[in-house]
Amino acid sequence: MSYITTATGKHFDPINPEEELLDINDIAHSLSLICRANGHIKHFYSVAQHSIACAKEAAARGYEKDIILFCLLHDASEAYLSDVTRPVKKDLPYYLDTEERLQNLIWKHFVGRVPNGDDRKLIFEIDDQMLSKEFHELMPEDIDDSYLKLVSDVRCEERRPEEVREEFISMFGELV
């Protein structure tokens, strides 16, 4: 079998993705059930919660809707590929290429364009600062203090996946 079956019943090949099969409901559902840090945290905190927090941070900084939407969707490829931890991912060139192709397709499909270099700098600055916050609140150690630069009131609390999925879909609907 060269595809995954998504929550909505689509047969999706993450290696050779078909744009018309991308579905925000599949993305929100999957990301709400994938735990950050490979589950090595104090309590369940999903990739969808992280993505929502990144989008809220972008909004709090006054960034335009495209940047907020890019932040919301910046890990959307993980809905189809799964999450791979940073120390492992950096040594998987095939995975990185596949992830980049799929992520760019997702951004193009839902935002209408792929982020440029300046956009990516903003997106991944927030992503890294949010990771720092998650380590601070959910891990037994800090990786750095860049979370202090966050301007939004980030809460790394345990929430029901269904509730997070609905918030993700609602936020997406407000941005498109």
Reported as a pLDDT band with limits 50, 70 and 90, residue 85 is confident
Residues 140-166 have a mean pLDDT of: 96
Indicate the CATH number for domain 4-175: 1.10.3210.10
Spatial distance between the Cα atoms of 64 and 151, rounded to a whole number of angstroms? 16
Position 138 scores a pLDDT of 97
The CA R_g of the chain, rounded to the nearest whole Å, is 15
Percentage of the chain lying above the pLDDT 70 cut: 99
Position 128 scores a pLDDT of 97
Percentage of the chain lying above the pLDDT 90 cut: 95
- Using the predicted structure, report yes or no on whether residue 74 has a pLDDT greater than 80: yes
Asked if 55 and 69 count as a contact pair (C-beta separation under 8 A), the reply is yes
Reported as a pLDDT band with limits 50, 70 and 90, residue 110 is very high
Tokens of 7: 């929550």
Query: Rounded to 5 degrees, what angle do the CA atoms 32, 112, 9 make?
Result: 40
pTM value is 0.96
Give me the residue label for tokens 């997702």: 106
